[in-house]
Amino acid sequence: MQFKHPELLYALFLLIIPIIVHLFQLRKFKSVPFTNVQFLKELTIQTRKSSQLKKWLTLITRLLLLACVIIAFAQPYISNSDSFSTKSETVIYLDNSFSMQSPSINGSLLNTAIQDIIENVDENEQISIFTNDANFNNTSIKAIKNDLIQLKHSPNQLAYDAAVLKGKQVFSNDESSIKNLVLVSDFQQKSEALTATNDSLINLKLVQLKPSNQSNITVDSVYVSKTTVENLELTVRINNQGAPIETLPVSLYNDDKLIAKTAVNITDKATTNFTIPANAVFNGRIVIEDRNLQYDNTLFFNIDRREKINVLAINETDDTFLKKIYTSDEFEYTSSDFSALNYNTLEQQNLIVLNELNDIPNSLATTLKSFTDKGGSILIIPSNDAVLNNYNQLFTIYGLPSFNTSNTVEKKITTINFSHPLLSNVFDKRITNFQYPKVNSFYTNASGSVSSILSFEDGVSFLAQSGNAYRFSAALNTENSNFKNSPLIVPVLYNIGKQSLKTGDLFYTIGKENTIDIATQLQQDDILTLVNGENSVIPLQQTYNNKVELITNTYPNIAGIIAVQNKDTFLKNLSFNFDRNESNLNYFDTQNISNTTIDNSVASAISDIKSATNVNELWKWFVIFAVIFLIIEMLILKFLK
């Protein structure tokens, strides 16, 4: 037992006063003569004994009464803390990621956690709560109750170690206070686990909320699997975590109109196909029915009319193979002899191909540098009779290794960089044995720090990339190489052309950095905006001659189809979806995390915090005891003779 005002206990020494009064009474007795006391002697003895007992009982009750009053004023209490005024600080991390949509007995995991916090934390107690996208510091449940009830799920989740670090920063610098950091989450398995370090100043509590089941169905992705003149075939990938499903309805919408509906039989993964018109605007939505996580039941995508990519070939040799690759349905291909080149047309292009030029004058090199600085791309195919000094000056501008000498030894092209963006989606599997294309002569060069896409058998680069510049190290004419007949030439040159203008994916992922090219020419001070209903935002953007490059990351914050506008002029639609990494409902075993306290519920964690700092005040009991002793004293004085 401890006392809030222990100095008042010195008043207990005053109890000696009633003791002195009772033991040393100063009253003198006066003798009264009486004729015969024989008859009264026995009664007198009995009365004196009763008087002594009464005095001792009165003394004891008064001492106890006074002692209880003094102790009551000293305010005794029982507490686990060392001091009556020990301050307790509580910070709660409330995970509101999409995996917290999983159902529990009382609704979703997030709603269950919010309800437990509201019911178990005193409404006026000072507390700090933060989520993945909101902060409520040094407030009370009464003040933020409505905010908690209306709390929405966040597409981005803090890493668990980052949540601990952020929580520690919320605490005050008072080292004497008891600090409790509570992490409320389902602790879904991520790439980085929670590694709690031992901290003597902060009590780390983990509350792992467990769903009633771990089943979930996800619309994972959609892509164009086949293209014809009239139609596009869309392939939808669906993932299932749980028991196999014989019939899962899958619906395709264009805006709000149902276009098609099918059903799939799914165990772990499944695909289904839809056919839509080609070269038509399609604001699509794939929808499935699932009672568990809701955010991944819908996937938005859109297909706009194809924006043709401008390709200019500057030739001193035959360019028939380029015309066959850069066809009119996707590209605006222009061919020009080097001797008749109009420099004014260069800035209007997306890709410029230098097709076996013997020489590259400084004027052309300077213009090409300005062109690529504004977002354009170039492809260099050298001539067998190239003027190396001028070529190397151009290579120096782009950080490409210089050509040394022409080597007339036959070389096979054997190495493919499958992970390069040009080829990452070309092959279903990595091919190691195929009919290797070859060259009869090539220019020796060092690999340097450039990215090699195709390489010779000795590791020397055949096709390299540095920024927006691509370069072959050998001429592609039929006398020097059979590369034109190789199956590699079409995907390589086609993707170089496609990547010179990022015409847009079917959809983009919210929370990741996306670079999107919008084919338009802006006037001075014009700015593109992303519009979603009544909401609009100006994204990060870079303006070039014939396009605007948009960079999105944190916006939009909801899935859907967003319009790109120049003032009131509509340009195109972009679709955004949430990352599907929250769809995998596998969880960490928190029992294996050291330096933490594990609780089964929010109520249990808050109860433990309260008990650690609970102060059981006893002064009321001593007041009651004082009243009782007062009543006893009054009864003794009245009834004990």
Which residues make Cβ contacts (< 8 Å) with residue 548, sequence separation at least 6? 517, 518, 520, 522, 528, 541, 542
Which residues make Cβ contacts (< 8 Å) with residue 400, sequence separation at least 6? 448, 450, 464, 466, 469, 471
Residue 536 above 70 pLDDT? yes
Place 543 in a pLDDT band, splitting at 50, 70 and 90: confident
CA distances from 341 to 213, 225, 363, 364 (A): 68, 39, 12, 10
Place 174 in a pLDDT band, splitting at 50, 70 and 90: confident
Q: Rounded to the nearest 5°, which phi and psi values hold at 16?
A: -70, -25
Secondary-structure percent of the chain, ordered helix, strand, coil, rounded to 5: 30, 35, 40
- Residue 417 in tokens: 């960089």
Place 433 in a pLDDT band, splitting at 50, 70 and 90: low
Please indicate whether residue 30 or residue 632 has the higher confidence score (pLDDT): 632
Residue 310 near residue 351, CB atoms below 8 Å: yes
Position 623 scores a pLDDT of 87
- Residue 497 in tokens: 């052309």
Q: Please state the rounded mean pLDDT for residues 451-464.
A: 87
- What b-and-e string marks burial along 558-588, b requiring 16 or more CB atoms within 10 Å of the CB? ebbbbebbbeeeebbbbbbbbbbebbbbebb
List residues bridging with 78 in a β-sheet. 616
Mean model confidence pLDDT for the chain: 84
Chain length of the chain: 641
Q: Please state the rounded mean pLDDT for residues 337-360.
A: 89
Burial level of 23, CB count in 10 A (0-12/13-18/19+)? exposed
Q: Please state the rounded mean pLDDT for residues 294-310.
A: 86
Position 447 scores a pLDDT of 63
Position 26 scores a pLDDT of 46
List residues bridging with 334 in a β-sheet. 312
Please indicate whether residue 472 or residue 191 has the higher confidence score (pLDDT): 472
Distance CA 265, CA 246 (A): 4
Position 315 scores a pLDDT of 92
Q: Please state the rounded mean pLDDT for residues 554-571.
A: 87
Peptide bond preceding 556: is omega within 30 degrees of 0, i.e. cis? Answer: yes
Residue 167 above 50 pLDDT? yes
CA distances from 199 to 133, 202, 595 (A): 26, 6, 8
Distance CA 354, CA 376 (A): 14
Using left for φ > 0, alpha for ψ between -120 and 50, and beta otherwise, residue 107 falls in left
Q: What percent of the chain shows pLDDT beyond 90?
A: 21
Residue type, 165: L
Position 251 scores a pLDDT of 94
Distance CA 337, CA 354 (A): 10
Which residues make Cβ contacts (< 8 Å) with residue 191, sequence separation at least 6? none
Position 77 scores a pLDDT of 67
Distance CA 416, CA 178 (A): 61
- What b-and-e string marks burial along 526-544, b requiring 16 or more CB atoms within 10 Å of the CB? eebbbebeeeeeebebebb
Distance CA 18, CA 6 (A): 23
Position 474 scores a pLDDT of 92
The long-range contacts involving 414-417, CB below 8 angstroms and separated by at least 24 positions, are 414/455, 414/456, 414/457, 415/452, 415/454, 415/455, 415/456, 415/457, 415/459, 416/453, 416/454, 416/488, 417/451, 417/452, 417/453, 417/454, 417/455
Position 201 scores a pLDDT of 81
- Of 496, 503, 500, 502, residue with least CA distance to 381: 496
pLDDT for 510-522, tens place per residue?
A: 888 888 888 888 8
Torsion 594-596-602-603 (CA) sign: positive
Give the SS3 label for residue 634: helix
- Of 237, 338, 224, 322, residue with least CA distance to 282: 224
- What b-and-e string marks burial along 455-486, b requiring 16 or more CB atoms within 10 Å of the CB? bbeeebbbbbbbebbbbbbbbbbeebbbbbeb
- Residue 398 in tokens: 């782009």
pLDDT for 12-64, tens place per residue?
A: 887 787 777 777 654 555 666 666 655 555 555 555 566 677 778 888 888 88
Using left for φ > 0, alpha for ψ between -120 and 50, and beta otherwise, residue 384 falls in alpha
Q: Please state the rounded mean pLDDT for residues 364-392.
A: 90
Distance CA 148, CA 117 (A): 9
Residue 84 near residue 59, CB atoms below 8 Å: no
pTM metric for this prediction = 0.62
User: Lowest-confidence range among 79-93, 224-238, 316-330, 601-615?
Assistant: 79-93
CA distances from 438 to 381, 417, 461, 495 (A): 15, 17, 13, 21
User: Lowest-confidence range among 38-42, 148-152, 396-400?
Assistant: 38-42
Q: What percent of the chain shows pLDDT beyond 70?
A: 90
